[in-house]
Amino acid sequence: MAGAGDIGSGPFEVPPPAFLFDLDGTLIDSVYQHVTAWQEALDACGITLSVWRIHRRIGMSGGLFLNALQRETAQDLDAATLARLTALHREGYLRRVESVAPLPGARELLASLADLGVPFAVATSGGEAVAGAGLALLGLGPEVPIVTRDQVRRAKPDPDLFLAAAKSLGVVPARSFVVGDSVWDLLAAQRAGSLGIGLLSGGYGLEELQAAGAYRVYDDPADLMAHLEEVGVRPPS
């Protein structure tokens, strides 16, 4: 049995962290295109919902979003309407996707993590078609694991996406930082046992992200990159 004087090797060999990134609002500037695509889809189905309420749900799975919507509008939507909403949103987003750009510093941050040998993956509540259009902007190589909505049972705020992303990197969630712009990312991070890093670039307020459990909050990927040493990433010595 180890005595008090035997500090062992365990806790003093902390491995460098891994990073599990959300996509929309975190690496690419696509939240407002999603918001307006949802509003257009809802309008087309005769459903009125204030835009800020849609914004506050972005980053949830489409299914949970539509559940919340039914609760807020006190409407029961049939399966055909739900399927139509999902299809209209996808179509509306893809129509707007050419106005989507990487967020400042996103490409540089990922390149810098790769250079430093820090493992990272992307985990998004979007389906494959929507995610693919955004991921193309980041120029990621095939070595970066991407987990999309289709690959897990439950999307955010359930932790499945981030758990799958950690697994694909071969790291434990407790060693990983989840980086996201929405309260749903940060709640999912807590459920996954990871520390959460909030970014303001999705349009949420600082205090909302802190209240959802963010360990640190930065403006956007460029600001995170300027403060990497705060989250355990050190330049090569």
- Among the listed residues 222, 197, 205, 185, the one whose alpha carbon sits nearest the alpha carbon of residue 102: 222
Per CB under 8 A, 138 contacts a copy of itself = no
- For a copy of itself, which is the closer residue by CB, 33 or 194? 33
Q: Which stretch binds a copy of itself (CB under 8 A): 46-54, 76-84, 155-163, 225-233?
A: 46-54
Our finding on whether 104 is near a copy of itself (CB under 8 A) is yes
* Minimum gap (Å) between residue 91 Cβ and a copy of itself: 17
Asked if residue 181 lies in contact with residue 59, where contact means CB atoms within 8 angstroms, the answer is yes
Which of these ranges, 59-67, 118-126, 160-168, 200-208, lies near a copy of itself under the rule CB under 8 A?
200-208
99 binds a copy of itself (CB under 8 A): yes
The one catalytic residue in 22, 29, 158, 185 is: 22
Is 223 an annotated catalytic residue?
A: no
DSSP the chain: ---TT---SSTT-PPPPEEEE--BTTTBS-HHHHHHHHHHHHHHTT----HHHHHTTBTB-HHHHHHHHHHHHT-PPPHHHHHHHHHHHHHHHHHHGGG--BPTTHHHHHHHHHHHT--EEEE-SS-HHHHHHHHGGGT--TTS-EE-GGGSSS-TTSSHHHHHHHHHHT--GGGEEEEESSHHHHHHHHHHT-EEEEEGGGS--HHHHHHTTEEEEESSHHHHHTTGGGGT-----
22 is a catalytic site residue: yes
Is 207 an interacting residue with respect to a copy of itself (CB under 8 A)? yes
Q: Rule CB under 8 A: choose which of 128, 200, 216, 223 binds a copy of itself.
A: 200
Nearer to a copy of itself, 54 or 188 (CB): 54
Closer CB to a copy of itself, 93 or 160, in the complex: 93
How many binding residues for a copy of itself (CB under 8 A)?
A: 29
Residue nearer to a copy of itself on the CB measure, 154 or 216: 216
Between residues 158 and 220, which has the closer beta carbon with respect to a copy of itself?
220
Radius of gyration of the chain from its Cα atoms, rounded to whole angstroms: 19
Which residues are marked as active site? 22, 24
**Chain contacts with a copy of itself (rule: CB under 8 A):** 25, 29, 31-32, 35-36, 39-40, 43, 48, 50-52, 55, 99, 101, 103-104, 200-208, 211, 220
